[in-house]
Amino acid sequence: QVQLVESGGGSVQAGGSLRLSCEASGSTYNTYCWAWFRQAPGKEREGVAAIASGGSTKYTDSVKGRFTISQDKAKNTLILQMNSLKPEDTAMYYCAVSAYGCAWWSLLRPTQYNYWGQGTQVTVSS
């Protein structure tokens, strides 16, 4: 089992920055890829950024060049640095971890992941 706790959400104006953290505990040695998802009211959960065990990263097109995903393996922490935030980035952001082998094509798909955090709210005002 893996437990995930997100932090760092909040309210910012457009153009601002936020840094989300996800601290993992439990059986983290048996994980293969980590990701951030988001879900706005009335919309489906969307994969934002993912990092595989080898360090490869993948981003959804709308955040490329603005968001950076990284991992501090020593601290079992996943980071999402979000810059140049836009109102359309407003959503609940979730950290997710997979204990299954991860293919490149599935890195941003919710069905790849079997452990989820509770989420942290990000609100961007115009």
* Residue type at 54 in one-letter notation: G
Per-residue pLDDT tens digits for 8-49: 999 999 999 999 999 999 888 778 899 999 999 999 999 999
Q: Where in the chain does DSSP place strands (E)?
A: 2-7, 10-13, 18-26, 33-39, 46-52, 57-59, 67-72, 77-82, 91-98, 115-116, 120-125
Per-residue pLDDT tens digits for 82-111: 999 999 999 999 999 999 889 999 999 999
